[in-house]
Amino acid sequence: MTHPSVHAHGAFDRRRFLASTAATAAAGVTLSTFPFGMASTAAAATGPRSLVCVFLAGGADSFNMFLPLDHNTTDQTYETYRRTRGALAVNARNILPIGNGDFGLHPLLPGLASLAEQDRLATVMNVGPLSRPTTRADYLAQRQIPQSLFAHDAQQKLWQTAQVTTTGNEGWGGAITAAVANGAGVAPSFSLNGSNAWQAAQGAKYARLSPTVPISRLAGYDGSMWNWIPNLDAVAGVIARGQHAAAVSVNAFDRAAETSIADAIATTEQLQEATASSESNDVGMEDIDQNRLARQLEQVARLIKNREALGMPRQIFFVRMGGWDTHGEQAERWPALLTEFNEAITKFAGALDNLDLADSVTTFTASDFGRTLTINGDGTDHGWGGHAFVFGGAVRGGHYGTFPSYSLDNNPDDVGENQRDFAGRLIPSTSVGQYSATLARWMGLSEPQINAAIPHLANFDQRDLGFLR
């Protein structure tokens, strides 16, 4: 049967898109000659690519995930960190060194350390929403400061949209979808954990799936299902008339309800096979029943494994893990959080390796904000800049951006007006826009498309952070 009004994507000429990226490749551009210091080599951009956003909801305390170890600048040493962090400081002896040993990872992140060892983990340091390079003086004068800093919902939105005001509703993930979706069927954009601004954009739908609810088609709209109910065929014909009546309703909510049913029909029809827990869909992620993040990533791995069969040379995914808003009892909550995160990432990376897909899948973290460097007794409060992780076969391992000062005294990166106000809410040195643009470019967005999606990028010299091949 056919359904009205399913998936009206923005018009897009896929052939032209592929041709332009191929031309870039043919021109033999190298890193040094490419305008704007853009690092993307477009050769691989002609093959399939998938991008996965792991959103750490609540504001992850990334200052206790990526740690200074043997870094010798005065205000960036482990000792500075330990003094400022007080009772929540990670013991230096337990930190897992990565790279040349300047930095390390929390002892409960061995899987990430192993990715670092393979040069497939990038850490982007002190990244956060910025409209332009911003100093402490700018902050104190409130010059072009992002809106509603330190508020969860606002900062989630700024991270997901790469904007500096909360009025925008279009994410750069949505811009990717709008650029690559071929206009037919389900868009190659999936959330395994509800709505988000990253994947939303005009002409860019995304399907919201669940790791715990198997995909099943809408029986009453599909007479071939549930055939023990007599005449369901006829009922499906009648209810399609109801769908039509809603589609032409004068009321916006009637129409929205109709769209949601049409989207549910399209999504379940096209994805039932690709997501079923069948043998052919096995991605080898074992023992993950209790790991909610891993279960989301398992569904992601299935959809990546099936991306060619689904006709989706580009896909984007959103998964989310909550619980990171550790104002209280951080020491008690932290092991469970890090263990779930580490295991999920490790098993997902392992699955992609086994499927030989690691080089064409990039996974990145995002979070509401970094947290305060200082503690409130047994936890940390809302901050601004934080560290983010990117991993995958296309990643150039290492750390990117500028490591901030962790100093207690006259910290140039802190937002406090005077020493008495010091809390270690750090002004980011790298913008979410730069971080996002680097990822979007790897997914094949052109420079004009990136500029349209991330307008503030023009205020920064470095348009590509270089962590992707």
Q: Which of 108, 180, 207, 316 binds another protein (CB under 8 A)?
A: 207
Contacts of 261 (CB under 8 A, 6+ apart): 218, 221, 243
Phi, psi of 399 (to 5 degrees): -115, 145
Q: Rule CB under 8 A: is residue 219 a binding residue for another protein? A: yes
The residue (of 210 and 462) whose beta carbon lies closer to another protein is 210
The residue (of 150 and 460) whose beta carbon lies closer to another protein is 150
Q: Which of 329, 402, 410, 452 binds another protein (CB under 8 A)?
A: 329
**Rule CB under 8 A: which of 108-127 touch another protein?**
none
* 36/44 Cα distance (integer angstroms): 20
Contacts of 114 (CB under 8 A, 6+ apart): 346
Q: Which of 382, 387, 399, 441 binds another protein (CB under 8 A)?
A: 382
C-alpha of 15 from chain center? 27
CB of 419 to another protein, least distance (A): 10
CB of 386 to another protein, least distance (A): 17
* 405/141 Cα distance (integer angstroms): 21
Size of the residue set binding another protein (CB under 8 A): 85
**Rule CB under 8 A: which of 394-413 touch another protein?**
408
Q: Rule CB under 8 A: is residue 26 a binding residue for another protein? A: no
CB of 323 to another protein, least distance (A): 8
Q: Rule CB under 8 A: is residue 221 a binding residue for another protein? A: yes
**Rule CB under 8 A: which of 40-99 touch another protein?**
57-58, 83-84, 86-87
Give the x-and-dash track for 265-284 against another protein (CB under 8 A). x-xx----------------
Q: Which of 239, 281, 353, 359 binds another protein (CB under 8 A)?
A: 239
* 66/433 Cα distance (integer angstroms): 21
The residue (of 45 and 319) whose beta carbon lies closer to another protein is 319
Segment interacting with another protein, rule: CB under 8 A, options 45-53, 204-212, 355-363, 452-460: 204-212
CA dihedral 463, 465, 467, 469 (to 10 degrees): 30
Q: Which of 125, 415, 432, 439 binds another protein (CB under 8 A)?
A: 415
Q: Give the type of residue at 155.
A: Q
DSSP letter (8 states) at residue 337: H
* Cβ(12)–Cβ(181) below 8 Å: yes
**Rule CB under 8 A: which of 240-259 touch another protein?**
241-243, 245-246, 249-259
Burial of residue 352 (number of CB atoms within 10 Å: 0-12, 13-18, 19+): buried
Residue 152 structure tokens? 């969860």
DSSP run (H or E) holding 122:
strand 121-128
Q: Rule CB under 8 A: is residue 30 a binding residue for another protein? A: no
Residue 343 structure tokens? 């295991």
